[in-house]
Amino acid sequence: MTAGWHIGVIGGTGLYDADVLEDAQQIEVKSSFGEPSGPITTGRIGDVRFTFLARHGAGHRLSPSAVNYRANIDVLKRCGVTDILSISAIGSLREDFAPGGFVVVDQMIDRTLNRERSFFGEGLVAHVSLADPTCPRLSALVGDAASQVGAPVHRGGCYVAIEGPQFSTRAESHMYRAWGADVIGMTALPEARLAREAELPYALLAMVTDYDCWRESGEVVNVEDVLDVMRDNAGKARATLSVLARLLPSERRASPIDTALDGAIVTVPGMHDPAVVARLDAIAGRVLG
């Protein structure tokens, strides 16, 4: 077995077809933050343990705003994952990021409005660093894996997360481009924020499904076209996971993200709310226990 690695994958149900995951089993995992999107599926790809969670639930029943991101990260932490790979669809804000390609995201802008963004708060306050919201080590390995399966891969890109569920207006699309955003989506935040609080290195392999509406020529974003590209890319995404399992080093060396909560909790120990501490048993048990 590849020692130390346990990759949590957040994406669509098609990513863990029977021909990809060995010894697969589906289990229910309870979270102290409410209901996750659904059960998790765990198994092996080669010598590496992978645990999958469908972000939008079975049959894509949850909108981006309705996903319980805290519960999803919490259950993955409870399953013992060491790192998280998010696979999601995005729109392109750059001409050279064409539909059908992949982007290994390294920066993010948060334009979400109505989502729980932290595990911490009243009764226990913490501030983690999020200067670099993705893990460079895992991102590099994922980029290498995607390249080996023949997918066009852009290494690095700024993702702007919008609330949705509507796509952006033309004025918004132009504004995001002026800000320096390269791609646009609805789910990477607060997901990446929460992964950092859970001390889980996070990488985002984003599938370009369309050009956002900033282009003067061409069709506007169409859900049917987006789904067609997603179906075409699903096989490459699954193949990327198989290659990733082979590329992971035989030993997982410690990451600085593994200890992201060191020094982050500012509430003095005597003032910790016991109920909040109990709820954070998986997320912050290392520093609170």
Q: What is the mean pLDDT of each run of 10 residues along the chain (289 residues)?
A: 86 65 93 97 95 92 96 98 96 95 97 96 96 98 96 96 95 98 97 98 95 81 67 83 96 97 96 96 95
Domain assignment present for residue 188? The answer is: yes
Which amino acids are annotated catalytic?
210, 212
Domain count of the fold of the chain: 1
Q: What is the pLDDT of residue 80?
A: 97
Domain that holds residue 254: 85-288
Domain assignment present for residue 21? The answer is: no
SS3 letters for 105-146?
ECEEEEECCCCCCCCCECCECECCCCCCCCCHHHHHHHHHHH
Domain assignment present for residue 221? The answer is: yes
- Look up the CATH number of the domain holding residue 229: 3.40.50.1580
When computed from its CA atoms, the radius of gyration of the chain, rounded to whole angstroms, is: 18
Q: What is the pLDDT of residue 162?
A: 98
Domain assignment present for residue 213? The answer is: yes
